[in-house]
Amino acid sequence: QSVLTQPPSASGTPGQRVTITCSGSRSNIGTTSVQWYQQVPGTAPQLLIYGDNRRPSGVPDRFSASKSGTSASLAIGGLQSEDEADYYCAAWDDRLNGQVFGTGTKVTVL
Amino acid sequence: QVQLVQSGAEVMTPGASVKLSCQASGSTLSTYYMHWVRQAPGQGLEWMGIINPIGGSTSYAHKFQGRVTMTTDTSTSTVSLELSSLRSDDTAVYYCARSIVIVPSELDHWGQGTLVTVSS
């Protein structure tokens, strides 16, 4: 049972901008920083964004993220075919005393 | 180059226990907290718990308390997950992952995953 809510799907044509939202609560997104993970089907998730809006080394700058209150968002600018994957937001939840993940969003490149 | 290498796939019968392992190379296991995350077929990610390799203190998700045990062997840089009383809905890919601190749990390296199939 996911605590963070995401839209199940998002899509766009190559070059378009796609935005994914993540809705949480005061005990998770409202308290701690958000991560975003990218998972290509059949492979392990990879850290895409940490600290609300920071990219690990090697992550293209077309990926950006932000947070406001108890919601966060991930934007993919200049969508490319290799961006087709599942995306999960995540944060520590103080009330549950554990990591919580979003429901996941499947991004399709049309 | 940090690598987390997990043990191979398992096929288990309902009611049995399974023990999975995750060996770290390229970094000192004791420097990081280790997490277990699972993913049922076609489903999302589910956090199971965390272990501090130094001292072995653990924190488990409420859902798994009483059925899960996480342990560490610093001599082999290995963490293990044991899940008991297996049910069909425990069929999933189980991942280990590491974070530098507990909060935030930024999982910057993941194992390749271990498929556990529970079937009679």
CB contact under 8 A, A32 and B49: no
Spatial CA neighbour of A49 closest among A69, A22, A27, A24? A22
**A82-91, A99-108, B13-22, B52-61: which has the minimum mean pLDDT?**
B52-61
User: Nearest C-alpha of chain B: how many angstroms from A42?
Assistant: 10
pLDDT at A62: 97
Q: Evaluate whether A18 touches A79 at the Cβ level (below 8 Å).
A: yes
DSSP state of A13: -
In this structure, what are the phi and psi dihedrals at residue B16, rounded to the nearest 5 degrees?
Answer: -80, 175
Instruction: Quote the distance between the C-alpha of residue A20 and its chain's center.
Output: 7
Contact B111/B4 with Cβ under 8 angstroms?
yes
Which pLDDT value is given to residue B80?
Answer: 97
Mean of the per-residue pLDDT values of chain B:
94
Residue A5 reports pLDDT greater than 90:
yes
Q: What is the mean pLDDT of residues A28-47?
A: 97
Q: Is the pLDDT of residue B29 over 80?
A: no
B105 CA to chain A: closest CA distance, Å?
A: 7
DSSP track, B38-103: EE-TT--EEEEEEE-TTT--EEE-GGGTTTEEEEEETTTTEEEEEE-S--GGG-EEEEEEEESSSS
Report the mean per-residue pLDDT for chain A: 96
Side chain identity, residue A56: P
pLDDT exceeds cutoff 80 at A11: yes
User: What is the structure's pLDDT at A1?
Assistant: 62
The predicted model gives A20-38 an average pLDDT of: 97
Can you give the pLDDT at residue B26?
A: 81
The verdict on a CB contact (< 8 Å) between A44 and B110 is yes
pLDDT at residue A2, as a whole number: 77
Question: What tens digit of pLDDT does each residue of A74-106 get?
Answer: 999 999 999 999 999 999 999 999 999 999 999
Residue A99 touches partner B, C-beta closer than 8 Å: yes
Share of chain A above pLDDT 70, in %: 99
B27 vs B3 pLDDT, higher one: B3
Give percent of chain B above pLDDT 90. 82
Per-residue pLDDT tens for B61-112?
Answer: 999 999 999 999 988 999 999 999 999 999 999 999 999 988 889 999 999 9
